Amino acid sequence: MTAAASTERVANGGGTAVVTEVAQRSTKKASNGIPIMTRTQQRSHPLDPLSAAEIRVAVATVRAAGKSPEERDSMRFVEAVLVEPEKDVVALADAYFFPPFQPSLLPRAKGSAVVVPSRLPPRRARLVVYNKKSNETSIWIVELSEVHAAARGGHDRGKVISSTAVPDVQPAMDAVEYAEVEATVKSHLPFIEAMKRRGIYDMDLVMVDAWCAGYYSEADGPSRRLSKPIIFCRTESDCPMENGYARPVEGIHIVVDMQNNVVIEFEDKKLVPLPPSDYLRNYTPGETRGGVDRSDVKPLVIDQPEGPSFRVNGYFVEWQKWNFRIGFTPIEGLVLYSVAYLDGSRGRRPIAHRLSFVEMVVPYGDPNEPHRRKNAFDAGEDGLGKCAHSLKKGCDCLGYIKYFDAHFTNFLGGVETIENCVCLHEEDHGILWKHQDWRSGLAEVRRSRRLTVSFICTIANYEYGFYWHFYQDGKIEAEVKLTGILSLGALVPGESRKYGTTIAPCLYAPIHQHFFVARMDMAVDCKPNEAHNQVVEVNVNVESAGPHNVNHNAFYAEEKLLKSELQAMRDCDSLSARHWIVRNTRTVNRTGQPTGYKLVPGRNCLPFALPEAQFLRRAGFLKHNLWVTQYNRDEMFPGGEFPNQNPRIGDGLPTWVKKDRPLEETDIVLWYVFGTTHIPRLEDWPVMPVEHIGFTLMPHGFFNCSPAIDVPPSSSNSAVKRC
């Protein structure tokens, strides 16, 4: 077997390390030992994100298919994303077309021949296109090829497979539209006069955040593409880093028609003076904010003299016994595919086919304008991936870092690249395990290390960091880090509100919640075409007083199989230590129990809004912490693909589970909804220190003993004498 080798460089602060990348082998063997020739080397794995060249080809193909020059000029490209293939195609690619070549992924009958095609199906792109002239949305499927992806002269067109109009929807907003809304509002004469009444004559000071309209009445319906912007005002036009969110503009109601770039509603309802300039408002270094930075912070160096322990081949990552693929989409941002663990003689054991964050909702608890309509769907209305930004060495991540770029189509059909968008690195995580024998004084201790994959996005005033951590003991932790600037309101002098916290003179932060939805297409010990998973709920019960509990100390864990989708709408319960286990119905551990992974909730909450709250029409999925569905590749987003201005009640999860499909043995998808209630503090100003929230996937009977028992000791950790 021959292999060509190439290298890629990994950032390490000011230095570099080299990670070997193994190229496609020219020959390989099937499980029966017969060599198989790769007739056509494929550049992209079926799950690799679209390259910049593929996006260009896809956009050009759609544009060329326009029926007239007018239609082509009116096309706006909201999204271009990979059409993810069926799971058996992924398995075929991993088994025979891409290293490390895993034929065991494809189950076959004993003695049957391995039939391997000469090439994989062509990759496809899915484009969401908004027609600015007709206010119509359509979805296009374009077939690509290797020559298209290479974009080396010749063909620069793919093949249109389908074009489907989607009625009664509005797609996500785009950065181009943000800028257009700001320009439209700042040139509107009644708005200029309203700002003059507040003492603002320089429109360069004004900040217009183009929030989506939501849906509160028929006037917000998708027949018009609307924005209801929120206004802020800086104090210094020549200070680009000044915190303009410190001066919210209250009392002005504006609705912008984004299709035609015109203000269609304007009212100066109430003259609320702008908050005075707060001397604590800025967050820039030292003297630039009128303060002094600490002088006693010494350097902290993360050093890996032999380089990182992970290996990267394209988007395929191997770290110790973990392996998975990295993807990225405009809505979700980071996606992890084909997550598996190499378990000695048992080989590669799948855990999940696909992991991602698919939606987040931020409802505010102040009934006053404009805060009552602050109910942003940050994934569906804006796009977590499209709002991501470049990460900086030594700031967002430390140590040896492998970065991944992300490519998107912009609104006009060009390609934009976010460099260093995804960060992959190792982190020390304290003690992994330890025991000291009290008789001998000898101790064994191991330090924990984790592999972290992350990205960070900015959505108006807030920042969100999304992290997946892989541990040496088989755990996977999902974490969100919340930071950024509070969305504020102005007060009349002497006024206070019970729906928020006053954090500066005439300035308050409304109470609100942040909800996140993780979609986990599980595959515990399942090969791609197997559907052998089920979900059980575990609750701890107290034994009733009586002959079985004479000492009043007895309690036990009780399991309940979630048999159908309606039965699987569940909430967290810390009083019963509630958690859920995804089990394989055909595979057992050494005690004869089914192998599984359990979902361990972190802190969580449910919406405080009444059930009749209008934003819950679009966010019915927030009513429960856990949903379980039978896999359907078209069921991707819990509030439907187009939550923006959506007039339909219960789109997405609440509608899908009405089918009440059986879950006793199937291909399982977990939807975990987790949130935090943010009661703002003065310490959250002017920029909020990171708040952490998340959950853990933990092996439960998946291994026969601790998988961390073979982690070697550090050089100074063996046989340490008791102090």
Dist. CA 634–CA 339, nearest whole Å: 21
pLDDT band for position 524 (cuts 50, 70, 90): very high
Q: The CATH number of 175-288 is which of 2.60.120.260, 3.30.565.10, 3.10.450.40, 3.30.497.10?
A: 3.10.450.40
Stronger pLDDT, 494 or 599, i.e. the higher one: 599
- Chain centre to alpha carbon of residue 679: 24
Average pLDDT over residues 348-374: 96
Are the C-beta atoms of 397 and 423 separated by less than 8 Å? yes
Return the pLDDT at 291. 83
How many Å apart are CA 641 and CA 692, to the nearest integer?
Answer: 27
Q: Where are the beta strands (DSSP E) in 132-258?
A: 136-143, 159-166, 206-209, 226-227, 230-233, 248-249, 252-257
Six token digits for residue 243: 């915190």
State how far the Cα of 62 lies from the Cα of 125, in Å rounded to an integer. Answer: 11
Q: For position 109, what pLDDT does the model report? A: 62
Rounded to an integer, what is the distance from CA 660 to the centroid of its chain? 27
The whole-number pLDDT of residue 122 equals: 94
Mean pLDDT of 20-37: 40
**At 146, is the pLDDT very low, low, confident or very high (cuts 50, 70, 90)?**
low
Tell me if residue 156 is catalytic: no
Burial of 302 per CB tally in 10 Å (0-12, 13-18, 19+): middle
Contact 460, 487 (CB under 8 A): yes
> What integer is the mean pLDDT of 697-716?
93
**What pLDDT, on the 0 to 100 scale, is given for residue 32?**
44
pLDDT for the residue numbered 157: 78
- Burial group, residue 545, by CB count within 10 angstroms (0-12, 13-18, 19+): exposed
The mean per-residue pLDDT over the stretch 499-523 comes to 97
Task: Look up residue 371 and give its DSSP letter.
Answer: G
- 3 state SS for 551-590: CCCCEEEEEEECCECCCCCECCCHHHCCEEEEEEEEEECC
The predicted structure's pLDDT at residue 156: 65
Q: How confident is the model at residue 717 (pLDDT cuts 50, 70, 90)?
A: very low
Tally of CB atoms within 10 A around 444: 14
Compute the average pLDDT of residues 505-527: 97
The structure tokens 């977590």 sit at 384
**Buried b / exposed e along 183-214 (16+ C-beta atoms within 10 A):** ebbbebeebeebbeebebeebebbbbbbbbbb
Residue 620: name the closest of 637, 603, 599 by CA.
Answer: 637
With cut-offs at 50, 70 and 90, classify the pLDDT of residue 107: low
Question: What dihedral angle (degrees, nearest 10) is formed by the CA atoms of 225, 231, 237, 241?
Answer: -90
Instruction: Give CATH 3.10.450.40 domain extents, the chain.
Output: 175-288
Q: What is the pLDDT of residue 315?
A: 98
Contact 119, 42 (CB under 8 A): yes
CATH 3.10.450 assigned to domain 52-107+119-166? The reply is yes
Residue 36 pLDDT: 42
Q: Output the average pLDDT for the chain.
A: 91
Q: Looking at beta carbons, which pairs linking 537-545 to residues 24 or more positions away fall under 8 Å?
A: 537/562, 537/570, 537/578, 537/579, 537/580, 538/577, 538/578, 538/579, 538/580, 538/581, 538/598, 539/573, 539/576, 539/577, 539/578, 540/576, 540/577, 541/576
Alpha-carbon gap, residue 336 to 323, rounded angstroms: 10
Task: Give residue 21's pLDDT band: very low, low, confident or very high (50, 70, 90).
Answer: very low
For the stretch 310-351, pLDDT in tens is: 999 999 999 999 999 999 999 999 999 999 999 999 999 999
At residue 644, the pLDDT reads: 97
List beta partners, residue 19.
8
Of all residues in the chain, the percent with pLDDT exceeding 90 is: 83
378 catalytic residue (yes or no): yes
| Model confidence at 19: pLDDT above 50 | no
Is 138 a residue whose pLDDT tops 70?
yes
- Which residue intervals of the chain bear CATH 2.70.98.20? 310-700
State the average pLDDT over residues 606-635.
97
2, pLDDT greater than 60: no
pLDDT at 675 over 90: yes
pLDDT band at 42 (very low <50, low <70, confident <90, very high): low
> pLDDT tier at 554 (50, 70, 90 boundaries)?
very high
Options 209, 378, 667, 684, the catalytic residue: 378
The terminus-to-terminus CA distance of the chain in angstroms comes to 54
Paired residues of 248 in beta bridges: 232
> What's the predicted TM-score (pTM) here?
0.92
User: What are φ and ψ of residue 372, in 5° steps?
Assistant: -65, -25
Which of 96, 364, 462, 672 does the annotation list as catalytic? 462
The residue-averaged pLDDT of 345-370 equals 96
**pLDDT tens digits, residue range 435-482?**
999 999 999 999 999 999 999 999 999 999 999 999 999 999 999 999
The per-residue DSSP string of 402-437 comes to EEEEEEEE-TTS-EEEEEEEEEEEEEEEEEEEEEE-
pLDDT of the residue at 40: 47
Give phi and psi for 267, each to the nearest 5. -150, 130
What confidence category does residue 168 fall into, taking pLDDT thresholds of 50, 70 and 90? very high
Mean pLDDT for the stretch of residues 28-44? 50
Q: What is the pLDDT of residue 458?
A: 96
Question: Which pLDDT score, from 0 to 100, does residue 105 have?
Answer: 84
When pLDDT is cut at 50, 70 and 90, the band that residue 104 belongs to is confident
- Residue 433: pLDDT band (50, 70, 90) is very high
Q: What is the pLDDT of residue 28?
A: 45
Give domain 310-700's CATH superfamily: Copper amine oxidase, catalytic domain (2.70.98.20)
Which residues, 6 or more positions from 65, have their beta carbon under 8 angstroms from its beta carbon?
140, 160, 163
Token code pair at residue 109: 């009958």
Tokens representing residue 166 in the block: 């989607």
Segment among 57-66, 138-147, 174-183 with least mean pLDDT: 138-147
Average pLDDT rounded to a whole number, residues 199-218 = 95
Mean of pLDDT values over 513-531 = 96
